[in-house]
Amino acid sequence: MKYSELHYERINVDEVKVIISDIVKRFSDAKSVKEQISSILELDKIGRDYASYSSIASLNFSRDIYNEKAKAEKDYYDSIGPDMEECFNSFEKVLDNSIFKNELADKWGIKYLKDVETSLKTFDPKIKEMLKRETDLRNEYTKLTAGAKIEFDGKEYNLAGLGPFHSDKSRDVRKRSYEARFNWFSQNSESLDAIYDKLVKLRHKIAVTLGYENFIELGYMRMGRNDYGPSQVANFRKQIVESVVPVVKKLHDKKKEILGLDYLYFYDGINFKDGDPKPKGTPEHLITEAQKMYHELSEETGEFFDIMVNEELMDLVNREGKRPGGFCTSFPSYDRPYIFSNFNGTDHDITVLTHEAGHAFQCYSSKDQPLMGYIWPTMEAAEIHSMSMEFFTWPWMDRFFKEDTSKFKYKHISGSLSFLPYGACVDHFQHWVYENPDATPRERNQKWLDFESIYLPDRDYHDIEFPSTGGIWQGQLHIYQMPFYYIDYTLAQTCAFQFWMKSQTDNQKAWADYVLLCKAGGSLTFTDLVELAGLELPFNDGCLAKVVDYVSNWLDGVDANAL
């Protein structure tokens, strides 16, 4: 079935309430674990339908933000979110009190029950109205940023459309395109600050209402993290400062040589004098090549990608009215993922075909998991699938980049490594924000600059005012949309690098471990998934240093000047 043929409807909350309260009653009265299992599966079916319809509604809106009908459907699903959460919460409460917990753990593993416990700690009917308000504020951010219309050299662009100019080979174009971008942010900074200010205070209030000191603990639980906390994350950030920041400094100096510049400003983000590698060919051609590639990579990826193409489960090219960014979503009732992105003619387009496809491949591989909650793992584990796929597809990169393949690989590795300090900076900033919910926008910006000086000491915005005064984080949508979702990329990158290292010595074993990890979906915690995949846990002291050592040796071995 094609995406456009998938059944969609509005769920009627009142009807669902009645059905779920009946399931709750039968579950509580159950005399055997068998009866409870069948209740759980009934509820799982409702959860799948709800998740599928709300994903479709949200996706259709992302594809066409000016479509009133699509907006109305998304608004509907946004508006019922907290009520639906209340329904599921009522079931989780009785589940948590089940006298058959041991038997249930035997059937599905302890993770399922732990997830329920965690979920219970994130909700109470008394925060329902605040959750609705939080969704509204998130949507305000999307609306504002997605609707950006920026004039540049006589043409109008959205934020994603302006992206390619930031890595133009002309320094003047790069600088002016950033100025255009930051002018837009500067003009909208008051609105962006107001949205964030309200979000932070609201999240703090939700946390306090639920009995927490501040939002941090709640934020971690919302991310489903039940195997580590802020102290492990702080220790990991510290390792990034110690092991990665000095190597990134070296890369920075090397880049000066490559670009033939005495000094690098923020807008000198390109990697090569004659420009960054670009994919060769039209979007259609790239997708056809990707399809061939996935067939050659493995039987399972070939089958998967055929489905993505044949069932029209991808919307990849940037156009006006599309929400910026890229993501992978899914429709659990139909066992299908979907990839959304904004192709813009840069190497980012290929990363979509590998990164987002990695997410989608994992989701597809987990279709036999018995429970909806086991399809997707927590995000730091999910990003392993996507980032590792970027590496497993390396042998085919010449199909996309032709003579620029070595440039792409150098950029890929150096970029992935250089990303780690930025990721830690975003994470540290958010911890500070939620520890200090009363800080003013100006204080937040100042704090951002303080963190930049730790994690990104070489950054210099030159005479561009907006980022120089600390506002650049406003463009990082995770900070608004999904608090604490960011360190995930750095943890996952540390794991993906390990897969890359392994693939150089024993590709077959590395791929087998990867497929095993994808099939496990969310049936285990991050810690257990990393172990299952035969990788070392990034939190372990020395793990990152070892990885960085290998990666920087590889980079040292590349004569980037000659590429």
According to the binding rule CB under 5 A, does residue 493 interact with Zn ion? no
Which of helix, strand or coil describes residue 135? helix
Which region among 86-94, 386-394, 416-424, 493-501 touches Zn ion (by CB under 5 A)?
386-394
| Nearest Cα residue to 419 out of 378, 376, 398, 390 | 390
CB 8 within 8 A of CB 57: yes
Near Zn ion in 197-226, by CB under 5 A? none
**Which residue has the closest beta carbon to Zn ion?**
386
When the beta carbons of 434 and 499 are compared against Zn ion, the nearer one is 499
When the beta carbons of 40 and 357 are compared against Zn ion, the nearer one is 357
Min dist CB 164 to Zn ion, Å, is 21
When the beta carbons of 200 and 379 are compared against Zn ion, the nearer one is 379
Which region among 228-236, 381-389, 460-468, 526-534 touches Zn ion (by CB under 5 A)?
381-389
When the beta carbons of 383 and 452 are compared against Zn ion, the nearer one is 383
Min dist CB 386 to Zn ion, Å, is 4
When the beta carbons of 82 and 475 are compared against Zn ion, the nearer one is 475
Min dist CB 359 to Zn ion, Å, is 6
Which region among 152-160, 189-197, 199-207, 382-390 touches Zn ion (by CB under 5 A)?
382-390
CA distances 309 to 60, 64, 203, 467, 497, Å, are 18, 21, 40, 40, 29
Which region among 147-155, 226-234, 334-342, 375-383 touches Zn ion (by CB under 5 A)?
375-383
Which region among 65-73, 151-159, 181-189, 376-384 touches Zn ion (by CB under 5 A)?
376-384
Q: Tokens 């599905």 identify what position?
A: 108
- Which phi and psi (to 5°) does residue 150 adopt? -115, 125
DSSP letter for each residue of 472-537: GGGG-HHHHHSTT-SHHHHHHHHHHHHHHHHHHH-HHHHHHHHHHHHHHTTSS-HHHHHHHTT---
Decide the pairing of beta strands 327-331 and 155-157. unpaired
One residue of 39, 386, 388, 474 binding Zn ion per CB under 5 A: 386
Min dist CB 104 to Zn ion, Å, is 31
CB neighbour burial string for 14-44, b if at least 16 within 10 angstroms, e if fewer: eebeeebeebbeebeebeebeebbebbebbb
- Which phi and psi (to 5°) does residue 266 adopt? -50, -35
When the beta carbons of 326 and 471 are compared against Zn ion, the nearer one is 326
When the beta carbons of 358 and 470 are compared against Zn ion, the nearer one is 358
When the beta carbons of 369 and 386 are compared against Zn ion, the nearer one is 386
Min dist CB 349 to Zn ion, Å, is 15
Min dist CB 382 to Zn ion, Å, is 7
When the beta carbons of 268 and 383 are compared against Zn ion, the nearer one is 383
Tokens of 69: 């009908």
Which region among 14-22, 378-386, 410-418, 493-501 touches Zn ion (by CB under 5 A)?
378-386
Min dist CB 383 to Zn ion, Å, is 5
When the beta carbons of 98 and 378 are compared against Zn ion, the nearer one is 378
Min dist CB 385 to Zn ion, Å, is 8
Between vectors from CA 359 to CA 353 and to CA 364, what angle results, nearest 5°?
Answer: 105
Which region among 92-100, 106-114, 383-391, 548-556 touches Zn ion (by CB under 5 A)?
383-391
Q: Which residues, 6+ apart, have CB-to-CB distance to 493 below 8 Å?
A: 383, 387, 416, 419, 420, 423
Min dist CB 218 to Zn ion, Å, is 23
Min dist CB 391 to Zn ion, Å, is 14
When the beta carbons of 86 and 383 are compared against Zn ion, the nearer one is 383
> What SS3 string covers 234-284?
HHHHHHHHHHHHHHHHHHHHHHHHHHCCCCCCCCCCCCCCCCCCCCCCCHH
Which region among 226-234, 380-388, 465-473, 534-542 touches Zn ion (by CB under 5 A)?
380-388
When the beta carbons of 161 and 326 are compared against Zn ion, the nearer one is 326
* 260 backbone φψ class: left, alpha, beta (φ>0; ψ -120 to 50): left
Cα gap 229→235, rounded to integer Å? 10
Min dist CB 388 to Zn ion, Å, is 11
Instruction: Count CB neighbours of 403 within 10 A.
Output: 10
Does an H or E element contain 161, and which?
Answer: helix 159-166
Near Zn ion in 339-358, by CB under 5 A? none
Min dist CB 465 to Zn ion, Å, is 32
Using CB under 5 A, count the residues that bind Zn ion. 2
Chain Cα centroid distance, residue 332: 19
Residues listed for the chain: 563
Which of helix, strand or coil describes residue 463? coil
Instruction: Count CB neighbours of 314 within 10 A.
Output: 23
What is the contact surface with Zn ion in residues (CB under 5 A)? Answer: 383, 386
